[in-house]
Structure 1
Amino acid sequence: MSSSPVLVVTQLDDATADGVIEELNRRSVPVVRLDPGDFPAAVTVDARVGDVSLSGRVRTTTRVADLDQVRSVYWRRPSPYSAPEGVDAQDARWCVDQARYGLGGLLAALPCAHYVNHPWRNRDAEYKPVQLAAAAHSGLHVPPTLLTNDPERAHQFTREYGPVVYKPLRNTDYADHDRHGLTVWVEEVEPRALGAGVAQTMHLFQQRVNKTADIRLTAVGDRLFPVRIDGSPGLDWRRHYDDLGYTLIDTPSDVAKGVRTYMDAFGLTYGAFDFGLDPDGRWWWYECNPNGQYAWFPGPVTSRITAAIADELQHPHRDTS
């Protein structure tokens, strides 16, 4: 196992992965960093399937990994698959699909690897309606939530449960006419603003939690790192990083049980959970990003999470997903 590498699947600009790689290097654990978006220009694959298992090699410009010797995979934020330059549109689509299902399939089928997280587990856990159902089933406190494209039902929900917030179901790239990137934040919904646009697509409305603080709980295997976030002047603390204070706190036993049940339901090793803390001390579940960032925390918090991830990758348990 000492010579078996950890495969880090991510793009070049990834501070979270950088920190984990530095920690693995410090421990003298071999690392191969690979971005599927570099295929085929800078990644070469030679894979075989025989009577027993998958074998072969994947090569980058600086590293080589035997597919049947990879001990762990840290699946972070790879670039999209791409086609070689100069290929026309139809052939380019063909190349991209072959790469996604070929290389992507190989990287998801490494026979001895422990995944943090397996890419298909990440995919399954990204859908907000499935998250909501799993959180409720796991015993976590979920605010009353409506998913609808019916304007009248949206009006009725705001009357019954107001104040209500709107949350996007996915953070999709969006730009204005000048191509400046825009972000759709969590915002309180004014009933008079609920017009015909509600009917144009799916919307998520949720009762606003009367919160005294936010909590980001990062789960790595069985280890939980809950951080209380204070000082946000608005609903969405992600808009105010410079104004915030961060304090490591303990996890109530019922929340810890719910988080672990939730992780097991999706087969996750890692998850970034967001909660709102109300005046009575109750933790209200908002969402779980199966591949959430954490490197923006202060150093003492970041270093603990980084070490926990490095432990998972260095000393893996066989992934049965």
Structure 2
Amino acid sequence: MRWIPSVLSALALATVASAQGELVVTLNQSQSNFNWSGTTSIGALVGNPSTAFQAAGTANVRIYPLANDSIASADFPGAGDAAVVPDLHGKINNVFPFLPPLATFDVTNLHLQFSAPTFSVAANGAFTAAVTVTALSGQMTVTPLGSAATVSDLTGLVSAPTNQNGTLTLSGSVVSLVMPVNSTFPFSDPASGVSGSLSIVGTLRGSWTCPAPTVYCTAKTNSLGCVPSISTTGTAKWFGNSPFFVQANNVLNQKNGLLFYGYSPSATPFQGGTKCVAPPTLRTAAQNSGGASSGNDCSGSYAFDMNAVIASQLDPLLVPGAQVYAQIWSRDPGSPSTTGLTNAVQFTVCP
């Protein structure tokens, strides 16, 4: 199957959101365990009562796979949202154990994001990455002994890059991440005059599974009263040895049709039906629906191999993790618009 751009150019398509191609790794909270420690200008921070916490949420990774189901390199693009669970509570003990703490520290609503420039991944998945941790949100409440509490915003605090040794593996349609984290954040509370640093040590564990295609939107009933239906066969893969067909059945026989796709869904009135893919779009070359060789019926069908489109690498956005929305358009001379439309399918490009 030949692949050709539509009137909308690939250059225009490249303006689609840059998040395309990033894998949103879901963190396994029960296995993403950490401890914190801290020092301040008035003494060491200790847990009140514990220093243990977990990370829950997401950490985005962008991978560059090889043909043998392994990963050549990757980066953490500075996206995702890992919540610190539970909130952190600490104190600075008084030099006299029978007296209250010199101060208490409470860190609430702390959300973290992880970034690292491109790094190599070994055949067994091992990597070393210079990881930076950024606070997306968080408040630190300092309550000195005998004084009122003060609140500082932690949003935007950034750790220094620290080399971390982890693993990033690909097995079938599942990408698994194990990444140790050992980072330190400096802080200062101008109201109380207390300054110091907060360190976190632990391991992020999570995975991303390529989702199955899903059908959405509404097909246009054709001039013979048939409702075309869209479906898929196979798996959309960056390195696909087998076809991934987006196909249509119950369409008019012996009529030309084509597939068009983009990166956002839509539900816009179009040629008497519904256009289910938002612009900009690209399209395939036309196919004939086949079916009965004479007369008019709904015995036709189409099958477009999207793995051939992906393998061509003519579209720079068809990368692992890209979410694609596709619909099939066809000729229907008996319709006022002379065209037919299937419903649509959303699929993800698997590594």
- Tell me the TM-score normalized by structure 1: 0.32
Q: Compare the two structures and name the one with the higher helix fraction.
A: 1
- Tell me the TM-score normalized by structure 2: 0.30
Q: Compare the two structures and name the one with the higher strand fraction.
A: 2
